[in-house]
A = this chain, B = another copy of it.
Amino acid sequence: MNNIAVKTTAAKNTATLLITCPDSKGIVAAIADFLYQHNANILHADQHQDAENNLFLMRVEWDLAGFNLLPADFEQHFAEIAKRFSMEWQLKLSQKPLRVAIMVSQYDHCLADLLHRHKNGELVCDIPLIISNHKDTEALAKFYGVDFHYIEVKKDNKPEAEARQFALFDQYDIDLIVLARYMQILSPDFVARYPKQIINIHHSFLPAFIGARPYHRAFERGVKLIGATGHYVTEVLDEGPIIEQDIDRISHRDQVEDLIQKGRDLERIVLSKAVRWHIENRILLYANKTVIFD
């Protein structure tokens, strides 16, 4: 393939620390001093303070070359600071890329897009598994060398179908499930099993046109812009935290079919950004919202 470097390349060896805690004085000083004491070469740092909720959120990424703590020892040494400021924190290592499963039905534009970006080095993760309730995308999966599993979903077999899906997620050691126009509604059990680990693309500008057939309803309402929304899946349909949205302009000349066509480009771009930000550990969640450290 072409050797295109992107922000996060596979070659690099970095650690990323994500922190959420009540806001108070001295947090940055404590973290910065800790990293300095351990000889961290900081590559990116970004933070956000939510005054209304009195929250402090931070993402800091550093080069592990020269860092004088082993990742395995990080928790022990960081514990005092974390406790002092009541932090929730996670440490992510670039050398352990996330393992992503893609679920898809018949529309294959998002799937083809994600697989092509992955091949191009734009999505730094492993994609070992595709699950579909149709066989249409099997050839595409094969072309990109990803295991494809067909699991039929009918009215009366959803529990068994999902049980087979769960088994595959376990077997492939999946960290993130991407619904790339997967046209089945997940059970509450499914959603509860993978909190903050399921990303969906909804083909409207949420909260407009929640639910089914958004392009048809947008057409009937006579809107002048259509949209797409990438969001985490939670128990309430299309109400999860929004990661990214985008829109395109339409006119009276556009029929429903044109909305669907234009929407495909929105869906591809929005979903790929949502997935990229997740696997690059750029998203923090709070109050049903996302902070994107882009």
Contact = CB atoms under 8 A, between A and B. Distances in A.
Interface string A3-42: 0111100000000000000000110110011011001111
Nearest to A28: B32
A42 B109 CA distance: 33
Nearest to A269: B265
A45 B98 CA distance: 30
Contact of A6 (B26, B40, B253, B261): B261
A260 B205 contact: no
Given A44-B49, A221-B207, A247-B225, A5 B36 contact: no
Given A39-B25, A251-B292, A242 B221 contact: yes
Contacts of A222: 241-242, 287-290
Contacts of A32: 28-29, 32-33
A164 interface: no
Interface in A43-102: 43-52
A112 interface: yes
Tell me the number of copies of this protein: 4
Main secondary structure of the interface of A (DSSP, over half): mixed
Nearest to A9: B257
A163 interface: no
Contacts of A109: 116, 120
Contact of A207 (B29, B35, B208, B224): B208
Nearest to A106: B2
A246 interface: yes
Contact of A4 (B36, B42, B260): B260
Interface in A166-198: none
A1 interface: yes
Contact of A46 (B6, B46, B112, B260): B46
Contact of A49 (B43, B207, B225, B269): B43
A267 interface: no
Given A2-B106, A258-B6, A252 B290 contact: yes
A212 interface: no
A252 to B, nearest CB: 4
B48 A47 contact: no
Contacts of A257: 4-7
Nearest to A261: B6
A206 interface: yes
Nearest to A270: B224
Given A25-B40, A44-B49, A120-B264, 4 more contacts: A46-B46, A52-B255, A222-B287, A253-B294
17 contacts: A1-B136, A7-B261, A25-B40, A28-B28, A29-B32, A29-B35, A33-B33, A44-B49, A112-B116, A139-B143, A205-B208, A205-B227, A206-B221, A207-B208, A222-B289, A225-B245, A225-B247
